[in-house]
Structure 1
Amino acid sequence: MKTFLSIIAGFTIALSFYSCAPNSESANSSKPKARGSIGEIIIVIDSVKWNGPVGDELKDIFQSDIPGMIRSEAKFNVLTVDPRAMTRMLKMSNNLIYVTTFDDKGSASQAINSQFSKESKEKAMNDPSMYSLRIEDEYAVGQEVLYLFGNTEEELIKNLRKNGDRLANLFEVRERGRLEKIILARKNTAAASEAKKNLGIQINVPASYQVAKSENNFLWVRQPTPTANRADISLFFYETDYTAEEQTFPANILALRDSVAGKHIFGDPEDPTSFMISEKQIPPAFRNMQINDNFTTEIRGSWKTNNISMGGSYLGYLMVDEEKGKLYYMEGFVFYPNEVHRDALREIETILLNTDVSWTDEGS
């Protein structure tokens, strides 16, 4: 480890986050497989530092609330461990973050600092912007280990504040990738066929989902066997013509969402008053992005039925395909009373971000 950290001078901050590391599973086959649930991060840090300003920044990055929800839920399930209490089992965790500052003389931080060579500490001292080192498969195959450090707390806090979104995104992307391998190992070909036929898009839905409703320009698929340990998750897809930029404005996205859901989604199909509407108590959160070169707006919020018999959370994407002149709205919503929705929303995100609205049948 010291040898590796001694060559930290050869790495840039950008490289530490975005370099494409080779597949090390075969090279490190003698190592055990990493373990841990999706969305779990273990932060190895002195308890005093965790309960101070550095910990406040880390909590803001990894434990801030998921936007648009009525009930407070953190983005990640974060566990903290004293560096002196690290066991072989803990070192095999999927996501490990070591946090320290080189001016901290406490024994807990010194346990981390001892892994850095004199040369690497001097390099960090001469370059205050250097604050992170990413290592894959350090103790186990399939593992992400991130070192966050600084000469002083003030220096580390400054870098955490500047790069917080990048740090959170690193683990968001990683956890989606892990989840994708699990839930999309087997896909529902019937749902994919309906999406191609009725909407002209390509979707990847787990085999456990079933088609609930399919008609021109609309598809609803659902996980049909929710249990006490499994949320009731539904996905729906809608397609219409793209005629004006105003269609992508937040108020119009919400109006489109309520129009589609109100027409097609009912808590009780026998009760016409049980159609779905958006919860207005907490305004939904919007975020613009590019997905496969298509302008996309993400919307996160809460829903309820008009007769207030059911409610939950939802995550949707409005996507524009200017070349095809089409506007697509896709959403996943969760019904899981009195339980955490974070894992279900991550599953929805993983599935929806695997949708290709630019698909054509040319050459097929």
Structure 2
Amino acid sequence: MFKRITLLLFCFSILISCGKSDTVTLVSSTGRINHVLIVINDADWDGRVGDALKEIIGEPVIGLPQEENQFTVTQVDPRTFNALFKRNRNILFVGVDTINQVYTNSNIYSSPQTTLTILAKDKETLIKSIADSKDEILNTFKKNDLALYQRKITKDLQNIEDIQTLKNLGISLQIPFDYKLVDDTGQFLWYRNSTDRGLLNIIAYEIPTFGEPYTKETLVSFRDSIGKNFIPGQFDNTYMRTEPNFTPITTPLELNGMKAIESRGLWFVEGDFMGGPYLSYTLDDAENERLIVIEGFSYSPSSKKRDVVFQLEAILKTVQKK
């Protein structure tokens, strides 16, 4: 009974906060990308309800060389959900209440902030609701973090009017200023960012189709030809290739109004020991009988890969047709 009353008071405080958020100056939110605070009582977290959540959160991100969870998670009981925790940017509230409901809110306690609440009348219903909300759980917080990083990079960008390849491809792309130009031939573009965690790369090029259909194998083959001709390794006769023992995972989607294919895979350097993950978007430019490819790939041998690929994704998803 005490736990139910606690949760009801907790939910009531959320509603009050929502009503005040327009008139109160909110503190800045905190938290690294891909981090979620889960507010759920300790007993449920350690039981079947928690297991249902962990199954979703623990599902590995596709296209990485080692398994990494979708999110890094911190769990807190509602009774200890204090002002410090309320500053988290991504918060998931889960509990048993008098209603079955799933809803999101923005900027309740801090800004920018996204909260997702999953309530149910009993634990069995709650477990089912969590499973049914899998895509919403993953997409809600990922969308929030993508938008955050995209706002961050727009503060200091490369001047796209100076980038000949983007002009020829008929697209714009928000490339942060800390990425430095490696090559811009008019047909091939390469920017690189050297960080303490490794190398982050953005490339762009086109694939002529002459109106013919293309396959996953076509994309990989052309990618390998680009690597051989434009992306050398550190030694003579070495170059980037697609890892043949890992079939790229492709997903059709619409990207800023353009028909596209997302590909997540692994690359390596022929004749060397370098390698890592890549993420690409192949845009269908049927009007000009070509495909436009924008790609990010990273080399960070001593660190995890999830967050750097996420940052590359945020940049690539700023692409627009001009």
Q: Same fold (TM over 0.5)?
A: yes
Would the aligned equivalents of 2:95 and 2:119 in 1 still touch at CA under 8 Å?
yes
Provide the C-alpha distance between the structure 1 equivalents of 2:107 and 2:314, rounded to a whole number of angstroms. Answer: 23
2:69 corresponds to: 74
Would the aligned equivalents of 2:68 and 2:306 in 1 still touch at CA under 8 Å?
yes
2:213 corresponds to: 246
Shift of 1:154: 1.9
Measured at CA, do residues 217 and 63 of structure 1 come closer, stay the same or move farther in structure 2, by a change above 3 Å? same
Would the aligned equivalents of 2:102 and 2:119 in 1 still touch at CA under 8 Å?
yes
Provide the C-alpha distance between the structure 2 equivalents of 1:282 and 1:271, rounded to a whole number of angstroms. Answer: 25
Provide the C-alpha distance between the structure 2 equivalents of 1:51 and 1:144, rounded to a whole number of angstroms. Answer: 25
1:206 corresponds to: 176
Provide the C-alpha distance between the structure 1 equivalents of 2:46 and 2:211, rounded to a whole number of angstroms. Answer: 50
Q: Cα RMSD between the aligned structures?
A: 2.3
Would the aligned equivalents of 2:160 and 2:173 in 1 still touch at CA under 8 Å?
no
Would the aligned equivalents of 1:246 and 1:252 in 2 still touch at CA under 8 Å?
no
Provide the C-alpha distance between the structure 2 equivalents of 1:264 and 1:5, rounded to a whole number of angstroms. Answer: 56
Shift of 1:99: 0.9
Aligned positions, number: 310
The structure carrying a bigger strand percent of its residues is: 2
1:262 maps to which of 223, 228, 247: 228
Measured at CA, do residues 193 and 158 of structure 1 come closer, stay the same or move farther in structure 2, by a change above 3 Å? same
Instruction: Give the counterpart letter for 1:87 in structure 2.
Output: N
Superposed, 1:285-324 pairs within 5 Å as: 285-324=249-288
1:195 corresponds to: 165
Please give the TM-score of this superposition, normalised by the length of structure 1: 0.79
Shift of 1:192: 5.4
Instruction: Give the counterpart letter for 1:255 in structure 2.
Output: S
Which 5+ residue runs of structure 1 have no aligned equivalent?
7-20, 103-120, 125-129, 360-364
Shift of 1:304: 0.9
2:138 corresponds to: 168
1:85 corresponds to: 80
Provide the C-alpha distance between the structure 2 equivalents of 1:83 and 1:166, rounded to a whole number of angstroms. Answer: 22
Instruction: Give the counterpart letter for 2:203 in structure 1.
Output: F
Provide the C-alpha distance between the structure 2 equivalents of 1:311 and 1:252, rounded to a whole number of angstroms. Answer: 21
Measured at CA, do residues 158 and 244 of structure 1 come closer, stay the same or move farther in structure 2, by a change above 3 Å? farther
Q: Deviations over 1:334-354 (max 9, x none)?
A: 100131111111111111111
Provide the C-alpha distance between the structure 1 equivalents of 2:67 and 2:274, rounded to a whole number of angstroms. Answer: 19
Measured at CA, do residues 3 and 199 of structure 1 come closer, stay the same or move farther in structure 2, by a change above 3 Å? closer
**TM superposition outliers: structure 1 runs of 4+ over 4 Å:** 3-6
1:61 maps to which of 56, 62, 70: 56
Instruction: Give the counterpart letter for 1:263 in structure 2.
Output: N
Measured at CA, do residues 196 and 101 of structure 1 come closer, stay the same or move farther in structure 2, by a change above 3 Å? same
2:30 maps to which of 22, 29, 35: 35
Provide the C-alpha distance between the structure 1 equivalents of 2:13 and 2:108, rounded to a whole number of angstroms. Answer: 13
Provide the C-alpha distance between the structure 2 equivalents of 1:191 and 1:80, rounded to a whole number of angstroms. Answer: 47
Provide the C-alpha distance between the structure 1 equivalents of 2:65 and 2:113, rounded to a whole number of angstroms. Answer: 33
1:2 maps to which of 7, 12, 18: 12
